[in-house]
Structure 1
Amino acid sequence: MMTSLPQQPEKHNFLPVEAIPGVLLMAAAASAMLIVNSPLADLYHAILETNITVGPTGGGIEMKLAYWIKNGLMAVFFLFVGLELKREILEGQLSNPAAAALPIMAAIGGMAVPAMIFLFFAKADGYGHGWAIPAATDIAFALGVLSLLGKRVPPALKAFLLAVAVVDDLGAIVIVAVFYTEHLISLHLMQAGVVMGFLLLINHFKVKSITAYILLGVVLWVFLHQSGVSGTLAGVLVGSCIPLHDAYGQSPLLRAEHSLRPWVLFGIMPLFAFAFAGVELSGLHAYFTHPITLGAGFGLMMGKPLGILATSLLAATLMKAKLPGSMFQLLGIACLAGIGFTMSLFIGALAFKDPSLATPTRLGVYAGSVISAFLGLFILAQALPAADKIMVTDEEDETAPFIKPEPDYEA
């Protein structure tokens, strides 16, 4: 119900809590940039290239530290994403098919148009394999930037961006599984299938022990990694099996999501950025017109808003649905969806194994994400009502979508 009094003035904290994950990502990326352009560069690369073996002697898995971060720790990130996806589908923004149709269509357009722009710039030069780099949205970063506008942002616009980003992540997961699997070993794939069967079985019986799912998830990761499929997909599969409610009415899913949130937002994502975001500035000018740089940059800062805006208008017209805000506001939100960063860097690392292509990939992702952030912030600052003009609703949730209060469950 709408009250008759204007909103009370906000307390102007130096930095909104919701923005901290995005700031940490930028700080980690900036630190990597400083180090790779300093006398510590050789030490930085030597540490990331260090071989680490996990498992029994003679039968363990040996990978460079950088690959453990990309394939191991990012599996935990994808577990967190899988939990968020399941929650949103079962009881969140995507649980109502009619309400979910608009952001789903918008997300599809927001993935397709950037991919086409990337191919326009890069396919002729043989770099078309990276077409999915600008297709994803970094949820934490995008919502962190949006939080800088405080309570000026209507809940409907915030929910729309969250839903689009969630569908984007789902699309990115499918893309990684289908298009970035180089070879398959059927025996290990069948072994992974057996483990997945056990996960589905304990899900059927609503087993509430998170440890049971994690242990099976580790085995699933090993078999998927050995089969040729990205082991990070094990995280999503485990997340999809953890029940929302167990036989006692508690929520293992919310418990797991709440426990993982600080580790993912404040640990794994900044660490990934630190390991994969460093760009050497010497000779950087030679990459400004590189096809990958142009494809990733323009795909994020132009393809995302064009795709989301066009398909949103089309879907709203066909379904006679109401848009979550004005055209100008929707454009600002669509620009923020062009902040690819973590997911774009991750897909870029999968798409191009050649170290010489890391610089144009990272430069394009940086440029596209930063410009998208500033464009979105500027447009929304002009399009949204001033803080003292906003009316407070009794039902409004003042908590940002990805900063959840501790769930109510028994220990």
Structure 2
Amino acid sequence: MLITTYFKKFLHSSQSSGILLIFCVALSLVIANSALAEGFQHILDKNIGTDLFDLRYPLSIWVNDGLMAVFFLLVGLEIKREIVEGELSSFKNASLPIVAALGGMIVPAAIYFFFNQDTEYAKGWAIPMATDIAFSLAILSLLGKRVPLSLKIFLAALAIVDDLGAIVVIAVFYTEQIHWMYLLWSALMVLVLVLLNFFKFQKHVFYVVPGILLWYFMHHSGIHATIAGVLLAFTIPTNVSDTEISPLEKLEQKLHLPVNFIVMPLFALANTNITFKDGMVDGLFGSLGYGIILGLILGKVVGINLFSWIFIKLKISSLPDKSNWTQMVGTGLLAGIGFTMSIFIALLSFKGHPEIQDEAKFAILVASLIAGASGFLLLKTSAKSVS
């Protein structure tokens, strides 16, 4: 019984999911720089699915567009619950992650543009705008109760707004073609989901089926399909009762284990396989490297905290509950973990130039490691000084 008890604790621990995720990052990097690299890449590139309805894609696409939509569904459920009955239920608290995310997009993009205007790298201005919600929340979870829950909610909300902003940027500036008919079908699915909520349908199956169709239409529209998870989450019914468990809370409970111990680890394995090549380190000390690294680290911290400070001083917003400015700086550093979405934008920005793509990916990895380690250490130190 002792082993079973510890195993249950492991499965229910947010810290263990963070440790597993970091292990998968390290494992993926080792594989990508070993004799297994070619075989591993072959697996990621292998087409899976059916030609019927045009649903045959490489495994990496299923992970990044399919499984990550489930992750965004869970995060969206948590955000909606907090909006309805928790930390984000007041306008002051809900407005802060929105304005912080705007600052965290504008300032990094400006820093990148400063270093790369009128160069061959200029098109990558959106690379440092994105926050990797999976990795940033995983590192924050390693701190356990040493940081207030409100900071996790703040970072999750900020990262969602950030990623939605990145998706809009991709749709407007990097999408080669938007298929408007599929986008119209996506809007119709959202309407169906809203009506199901309005007429108080309680069973999950009524939402899952149109939710899957929403993902399909969104994916074929040319817009990043993970947004379907957030849209679906915001239509799942909830309540403000402490005694009655809502459909939203039931679904949230069901998704925690598969997301933390299947979806996120697979995502890390598929996206961290960066093969180190000659010249990558030199690329860190050019305009591309400076733009990405300073954008993600300095730009995120300054943008998030400057915009937050302005709105708090204007008494429009307020700090997350039981938090302080040192913790806000630490959270801003964690938001500098750009990784997946940043790499995705880099691939779109420099399509047809694999050598530039590799330099950009390496700079993103370095910046994300520095931001993650710095944010973790600052938050851990501030927790000790407060206790």
| C-alpha displacement of 1:338 | 1.9
| C-alpha displacement of 1:306 | 1.0
What amino acid is aligned across from residue 39 of structure 2 in structure 1? L
Q: Which deviates the most, 126-135 or 87-96? A: 126-135
The two structures, once aligned, show a CA RMSD in angstroms of: 3.2
The change in CA–CA distance for 1:71 and 1:122 in structure 2 (over 3 A counts) is farther
What amino acid is aligned across from residue 67 of structure 2 in structure 1? L
Identity, in percent, stands at 43
Q: TM-score, normalised by structure 2?
A: 0.83
Q: Which of 305, 312, 319 is equivalent to 1:316?
A: 312
Q: Which of 339, 356, 377 is equivalent to 1:341?
A: 339
Task: Answer whether contact 1:16 1:148 (CA < 8 A) is retained.
Answer: no
| C-alpha displacement of 1:156 | 5.5
The change in CA–CA distance for 1:132 and 1:81 in structure 2 (over 3 A counts) is farther
What residue number does 2:76 align with?
82
What residue number does 2:194 align with?
200
| C-alpha displacement of 1:341 | 3.3
Q: Which is higher, the Rg of structure 1 or of structure 2?
A: 1
Higher helix share: 2
Task: Answer whether contact 2:271 2:340 (CA < 8 A) is retained.
Answer: no
- The equivalences for 1:255-274 within 5 A come to 255-274=250-269
Task: Answer whether contact 1:16 1:147 (CA < 8 A) is retained.
Answer: no
* Pair 1:36-2:17 in alignment: no
Task: Answer whether contact 1:85 1:166 (CA < 8 A) is retained.
Answer: no
Q: TM-score, normalised by structure 1?
A: 0.78
What residue number does 1:101 align with?
95
In structure 1, how many angstroms separate the alpha carbons of the residues matched to 2:375 and 2:28? 26
In structure 2, how many angstroms separate the alpha carbons of the residues matched to 1:199 and 1:249? 22
* Pair 1:141-2:140 in alignment: no
SS at match of 1:124: coil
The change in CA–CA distance for 1:155 and 1:258 in structure 2 (over 3 A counts) is closer
The change in CA–CA distance for 1:29 and 1:380 in structure 2 (over 3 A counts) is closer
Aligned length: 373
Task: Answer whether contact 1:114 1:300 (CA < 8 A) is retained.
Answer: yes
Task: Answer whether contact 1:137 1:165 (CA < 8 A) is retained.
Answer: yes
In structure 2, how many angstroms separate the alpha carbons of the residues matched to 1:69 and 1:379? 32
In structure 2, how many angstroms separate the alpha carbons of the residues matched to 1:261 and 1:131? 35
What residue number does 1:361 align with?
360
- The equivalences for 1:3-402 within 5 A come to 17-54=13-50, 56=52, 59-154=53-148, 157=151, 160-245=154-239, 250-283=245-278, 284-289=280-285, 291-319=287-315, 323=319, 325-349=323-347, 351-354=349-352, 355-386=354-385, 390=387
Task: Answer whether contact 1:290 1:360 (CA < 8 A) is retained.
Answer: no
Task: Answer whether contact 2:164 2:227 (CA < 8 A) is retained.
Answer: no
What residue number does 1:399 align with?
none
Q: Which deviates the most, 290-299 or 209-218? A: 290-299
In structure 2, how many angstroms separate the alpha carbons of the residues matched to 1:352 and 1:322? 40
Task: Answer whether contact 2:93 2:319 (CA < 8 A) is retained.
Answer: no
Task: Answer whether contact 2:87 2:150 (CA < 8 A) is retained.
Answer: no
SS at match of 2:56: strand
| C-alpha displacement of 1:20 | 2.6
